[in-house]
């Protein structure tokens, strides 16, 4: 393969409040360009936490899937999803199905799994009319900005995710585990340090305790890495929370988070975490054809509310494993 692609790679533009942007002239063969420049692009992502590549003119799912594989290698299968996705190809998915008028707050993808993606890949085929940016936030800076007593507690205890699977909100049992077979679901839970119970009506409830602060696998620096605020009841719109509590009860919410010892997390803490994310958020409106690469450990991402049509394809790559994963039943959680 020719090295001409490498010679043509321009410098990354850095602007306050925006992710790093790399402008390129549309190559005749985008997948070949991506594979040729993989190391250089990954180096930029490691340095900056994220990289928006503009000018590739990505248009079709097959093309996007080839570009993603050129950048990330083998793409990961989506498991334990909190919201459904549509499959667009091997390891290629739609963005999470979520109401357009409700934002998806900052989070690190699948940070509640034992094995999670180190790299997130996004491609915009159709830009929304307004809003809808996939914004990013530096997890090192968020960790440093949060109160030390709070981050030290989470670093010591981890965080607890509780889930109750139903067909009304969030991913269903089949969408999350890839099967509705009880034995297979139980086997998955045991293999991945997830405590589970089946309710009399057949509802599955799970609890899993994970690390809230992790070391970056390349830099070794500590990062705030979790979905503590996003999946907490206090991040839900008030009317949505009231409805869900009324229907399912406080212990039957589709998802909720707690301190690692099982204690509830106050609304004030959730608001503080989300406000700190907002202070460190960088955003740039999508344009059709854009590619966004995100270091999933170094950088949190969100999806802002939008109007109009929006088609963003997603893939996960470079599996990482938490060094300190634990089951919910350890450390006092019940």
- Judge if 4-99+108-131+284-321 and 141-275+324-332 fold alike in CATH terms: yes
Q: Which residue ranges make up each domain of the chain?
A: 4-99+108-131+284-321, 141-275+324-332
User: Parallel, antiparallel, or unpaired: how do β-strands 311-321 and 92-94 relate?
Assistant: antiparallel
> Which residue matches tokens 């839970």?
189
Per-residue confidence at 166, pLDDT binned at 50, 70, 90?
confident
Specify the pLDDT at position 241: 87
DSSP 36-71: HTHHHHHHHHHHHSEEEEES-----HHHHHHHHHHH
Distance CA 88, CA 66 (A): 12
- The Cβ of residue 153 has, within 10 Å, a number of other Cβ atoms equal to 17
User: Around 77, how many Cα atoms within 13 Å sit in the side-chain half-sphere?
Assistant: 5
- The Cβ of residue 283 has, within 10 Å, a number of other Cβ atoms equal to 15
Distance CA 46, CA 218 (A): 8
Residues 108-137: what's their mean pLDDT? 97
Residues 225-279 have pLDDT tens digits of 999 999 999 998 888 889 888 888 888 889 999 999 999 999 999 999 999 999 9
Name, in order, each residue with C-beta under 8 angstroms of 223's C-beta and a sequence gap of 6 or more.
139, 140, 143, 213, 214, 215, 216, 297, 298
DSSP 258-306: EETTSPBPPHHHHHHHHHHHHHTEE-----TT-EEEEETTTEEEEE--E
Residues 29-44 have pLDDT tens digits of 999 999 999 999 999 9
Specify the pLDDT at position 326: 54
Question: Per CATH, is 141-275+324-332 categorized as 3.40.50.10420?
Answer: no
Distance CA 85, CA 227 (A): 18
What's the mean per-residue pLDDT of the chain? 92
Specify the pLDDT at position 288: 98
Which CATH architecture group holds 4-99+108-131+284-321? Answer: 4-Layer Sandwich (3.60)
Asked if residue 95 has pLDDT above 60, the reply is yes
Tokens of residue 193, six digits: 């340090």
Specify the pLDDT at position 2: 44
Torsion-angle region of residue 110: left (phi > 0), alpha (psi -120 to 50) or beta?
left
């Amino acid at each position: 393969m020719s090295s001409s692609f490498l010679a043509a790679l321009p410098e990354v533009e850095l602007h306050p409040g925006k992710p790093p942007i790399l402008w390129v002239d549309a190559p005749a063969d985008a997948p070949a360009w991506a594979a040729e420049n993989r190391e250089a692009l990954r180096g930029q992502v490691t340095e900056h936490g994220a990289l928006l590549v503009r000018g590739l003119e990505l248009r079709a799912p097959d093309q996007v899937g080839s570009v993603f594989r050129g950048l990330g290698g083998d793409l990961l299968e989506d498991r334990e999803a909190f919201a459904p996705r549509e499959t667009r190809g091997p390891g290629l998915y739609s963005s999470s199905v979520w109401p357009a008028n409700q934002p998806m707050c900052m989070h690190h993808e699948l940070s509640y799994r034992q094995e999670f993606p180190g790299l997130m890949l996004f491609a915009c085929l159709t830009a929304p009319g307004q809003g809808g940016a996939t914004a990013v936030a530096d997890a090192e800076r968020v960790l440093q900005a949060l109160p030390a007593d709070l981050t030290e507690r989470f670093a010591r205890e981890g965080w607890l995710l509780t889930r109750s699977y139903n067909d009304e909100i969030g991913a269903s049992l089949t969408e999350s585990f890839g099967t509705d077979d009880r034995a297979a679901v139980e086997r998955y839970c045991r293999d991945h340090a997830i405590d589970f119970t089946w309710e009399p009506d057949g509802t599955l409830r799970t609890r899993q305790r994970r690390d809230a602060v992790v070391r970056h696998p390349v830099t070794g620096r500590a990062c705030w890495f979790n979905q503590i605020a996003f999946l907490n009841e206090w991040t839900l719109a008030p009317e949505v929370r009231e409805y869900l509590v009324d229907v399912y009860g406080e212990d039957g919410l589709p998802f909720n988070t707690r301190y690692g010892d099982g204690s509830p997390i106050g609304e004030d803490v959730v608001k503080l975490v989300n406000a700190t994310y907002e202070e460190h958020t960088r955003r740039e409106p999508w344009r059709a054809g854009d590619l966004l690469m995100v270091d999933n450990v170094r950088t949190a991402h969100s999806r802002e509310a939008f109007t109009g049509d929006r088609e963003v394809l997603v893939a996960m790559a470079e599996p990482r494993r938490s060094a300190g994963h634990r089951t919910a039943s350890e450390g006092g959680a019940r």
